[in-house]
Amino acid sequence: MRVLAIESSCDETAVALFDGRSGKLLAHRVHSQTDVHAEYGGVVPELAARDHMRRLPSLTRATLTDAGVGYDAIDAVAYTAGPGLAGALMTGAAFAKGIAASRRVPALGVNHLEGHILAPLLGDDPPAFPFLALLVSGGHSQLIEVREVGDYRLLGESIDDAIGEAFDKSAKLMGLGYPGGAALSRLAEQGDPTAVPFTRPMVNRPGLDLSFSGLKTAVANAIAAGHAHEDVAASFERTVIDTLVIKLTRALDQTGLDRLVVAGGVAANRPLRQRLVEMMAERGGAVHFPAIELCTDNAAMIALAGYRRLAAGERDALPGFRVRARWPLAELELPRMLDSAVPVTP
Amino acid sequence: MNILYLDSSTEACTAGVLAGDRVVTDFEIAPRGHAEKLLPMAEGLLEQAQIDFADLDLIGFGRGPGSFTGVRIATAMAQGIAIARDLPMVGISSLACLAAGAFRRLEESGENTRDVEVRVAIDARMGEIYRAAYRLGELDGLITVVEEAVTEPTFPVAQGSRVVACGTGFGRYPALGGGSEVIRVEPEALPHARDALALIRKLPESERIAADEAVPSYLRDKVAGR
C-alpha cells in the first residue's frame, strides 16, 4: 500500500509518498513559509493558508517525480486533519480529498501529534511499543505514555508557553529575529551555561506539567541586567534541558517504561539529544529520535501514521471532510475498520 | 466535452457537471458546511451524469471573491482533482457568475437585456463590498463595465439606462440598490453552478490554466498587521 500524505497544519507545506509493504519512505518534500511570516514576528494564519494553496500542486508533482511514480501508484491519501490552524488545515485537506476522490482511493484525516510521536518508526532504529514520548515543538510540550498506535495517555504538558515558543520568544528578546530558536541554540554554544542562575520551573511541584513563560520573563530580566547574550542563551538552554530531564526521570519512574521517544522541532536540539542519550544510558534504557529533517513538520510522519490506520481498514467516516483546530492525542482510538471498508493488503 | 464545476465561495455550496450536452447542477445554502458537502455533491452529480472523474476534460472552480476559507475549499479540491487527473482548470468569478444569473433571470421573465447594467455586490464585512458591474455583449458574453474590487459600498455612475442590483451587498446596504434606474433588486442572489457552466462554455481555451496557477481572487489582500 502506497500512501500519499499532505501536511499543512501551520507554516510548512509538505508532501510525502510512503510504501507500507517495504516500510520505505519513497520521497518527501517540505516547503517552509518562514520568509512569508518573518516580517510579522509570528505565523499569520490567513497568509499561511494562501501560501499552502500556491505550493501544494507543484510540491506534490515534485514528490511523485522524486519517487519516479505517477498518480496511479497511489493506493490511499492521508492528510493532517488537526490540530493546527483551521484555514491552513482546510486547504491541505480539500486538496488531499480531491486527489483521493478523483483516483477512487481511500482517504484518512490524521492527527498531526500522532504523526510526530510515530516519526521515529521511519528510522533505522524504530522503537518498540510501549514507550514514553516527549513531544516538544513550537506549539506543543507534552509527555505522553504510548502503549501502541492509537493508545495515548497524556502524563503532563506545558501549562503556558510551548518549549519551542519559549526558545523563539527568548531569541526575539536577544534580537535574533523570528523564528530564532535555532539561532539561540547556536549562540548558546559560545556562552557559559552557569552564568545566569535561572530557576528551573515547576521542578519542586509534584506532577509532570511544565511551564516556560516565567523563564522567558527571567530571560528578559537577565538581558536588562546586562548579562552577555551568549551567556543568557546558554543558561536558558541548560535550564530547559535540566527541567526536562527531571520531569522525564519522574515520568519514566512512574510508568516503569525504559524507552523514550523525543519528537517535534525541539528534538533537533543537539545538547538536548546528547543529554537524553546520557540519561537513558544511565538508566539502562534507550532513546529514539526521528531523523533531524523529520523533527520539524513534515508529511512523511503523516504518511506513516496514516498508513498504520489505513492498512487496518480505517477510513474517513465522512465523504467530505472535517478539520479540528484542537484535537488532543488522548482522544484518539485504536485503528478501527469502518463497517463498509474492505481491508487493503499491506 | 465533460466539465466539473465546484464553488463554495459564498454561503452557497454549488456544483455542476457538463457531460456532452447534458447539464446537471446542485445548490445548497450551507454557510458552515462546505467542507462536508462539496465533495459528496460533486460525486453525486457525476453519478447522475453517468461519468467518472477519469472522463473529465476540464475542472472549473469558483475563484471568489467571497469567504476566504470557502474559496479555498473549492479551489484546493479542484486543484487536487486536476493534478491527479492531469486536467486544465478554469476559474470563474463569483461576481461574474452572479451577473450571469441575473441576466438569465431577466431573459426568463421576458425582459430585454440589451441596455441593462447588472451591478453585483457581495457583503465583504468590515464596511466594504466586493463589487463589479457587467453588460451583455455579442453572443451573450459578459462585458465588464466596473472592474472587480473591494470598496466602500458605492458604485460609479451606471452605463446603462436600466440597472439590476444583484447580491448580498444590496441586502446589507439597501440604499445601494436605490435610484430611478434600478429595475430589479436581488439581495438574496447567490452564485449557481448552472450560470458558471454557461460562462465556462463561452470562454476561449486560452483562459485555461494549470493547477499551479489556480489561485483565488481574494481582492482583500491586507490581512495582517505589521
Instruction: Check whether A344 has a pLDDT greater than 70.
Output: no
For residues B84-110, give the mean pLDDT: 97
Q: What is the H or E stretch that residue A109 is in?
A: strand A107-111
What region, left, alpha or beta, does residue B126 occupy, with left being phi > 0 and alpha being psi -120 to 50 degrees?
A: left
Chain A residues with CB-CB distance to B215 below 8 A: 53-54
**Cα separations in angstroms, B169 against A255, A344, B14, B177, B201:** 60, 50, 20, 9, 28
3-state DSSP call for residue A86? helix
pLDDT band at B55 (very low <50, low <70, confident <90, very high): very high
User: What is the end-to-end Cα distance of chain A in Å, rounded?
Assistant: 5
Question: Is some CB atom of chain B closer than 8 A to the CB atom of A93?
Answer: yes
Q: Which pLDDT tens digit goes with each residue over A71-116?
A: 999 999 999 999 999 999 999 999 999 999 999 999 999 999 999 9
CB A217 within 8 A of CB A232: no
How do beta strands B129-136 and B116-123 pair? antiparallel
Dihedral sign, Cα of residue A329, residue A334, residue A335, residue A341: negative
- A91 has a chain B CB within 8 A of its CB: yes
B79 with A98: Cβ contact below 8 A: yes
pLDDT score of A168? 93
Give the chain A residue whose CA is nearest to the CA of B36. Answer: A320
Q: What is the pLDDT of residue A340?
A: 52
Grid look-up 523529520 returns A294
pLDDT at site A87: 97
Q: Could you read off the pLDDT of A10-35 as tens digits, one per residue?
A: 999 999 999 999 999 999 999 999 99
Residues 34-53 (A) with a CB less than 8 A from some CB of B = 39-40, 44, 46-47, 49-50, 53
Q: Rounded to an integer, what distance in angstroms lies between the CA atom of residue A285 and that of residue A72?
A: 44
What's the rounded mean pLDDT across residues B165-191?
96
d(CA A242, CA B18): 64
ipTM of predicted assembly, 2 dp: 0.97
pLDDT at A341 over 80: no
Q: Which residues of A touch B72 (CB under 8 A)?
A: 49-50, 53, 87, 90-91, 94
Confirm if B14 and B68 have CB atoms less than 8 A apart: no
Q: How confident is the model at residue B226 (pLDDT cuts 50, 70, 90)?
A: low
Beta bridge partners of B189: none
Q: Which residue has the higher pLDDT, B162 or A206?
A: B162
Query: Which residues of B fall within a CB distance of 8 Å from A39?
Result: 226
Beta bridge partners of B91: B61
Buried b (16+ CB within 10 A) or exposed e, A147-181: eebbebeebbbbebbbbbbbbbbbbbbbebebbbb
Higher pLDDT, B81 or A125: B81
| B213 phi/psi in degrees, rounded to 5 | -95, 0
pLDDT score of B52: 97
pLDDT at B32: 85
Q: What percent of chain B has pLDDT over 70?
A: 99
Of B76, B212, B225, the CB nearest to A58: B212
Cβ atoms of A76 and A312 within 8 Å: the answer is no
* Mean of all residue pLDDT scores within chain B: 95
- Decide: pTM greater than 0.90: yes
pLDDT of residue A346: 45
pLDDT tens, residue by residue, A154-166 = 999 999 999 999 9
In chain A, residues with a C-beta closer than 8 Å to the C-beta of B73 are 90, 94
Q: What is the pLDDT of residue A227?
A: 96
Structure confidence by residue, pLDDT tens digits, A286-334: 999 999 999 999 999 999 999 999 999 999 988 899 999 999 999 999 9
Mean local confidence (pLDDT), B113-118: 92
Answer whether residue A122 shows pLDDT above 80.
Answer: yes
* Mean predicted confidence (pLDDT) in B138-147: 90
Question: Given pLDDT bands bounded at 50, 70 and 90, which one contains residue B140?
Answer: confident
Given an 8 Å threshold on Cβ–Cβ distance, is B40 in contact with A102?
no
Mean confidence (pLDDT) of chain A: 94
pLDDT value of position B170: 97
Best of A35, A40, A95, A323 to disrupt the B interface by mutation (most B CBs within 10 Å)? A95
Q: Is residue A339 pLDDT above 90, yes or no?
A: no
Whether the predicted pLDDT of B160 surpasses 80: no
- pLDDT of A345 > 50? The answer is no
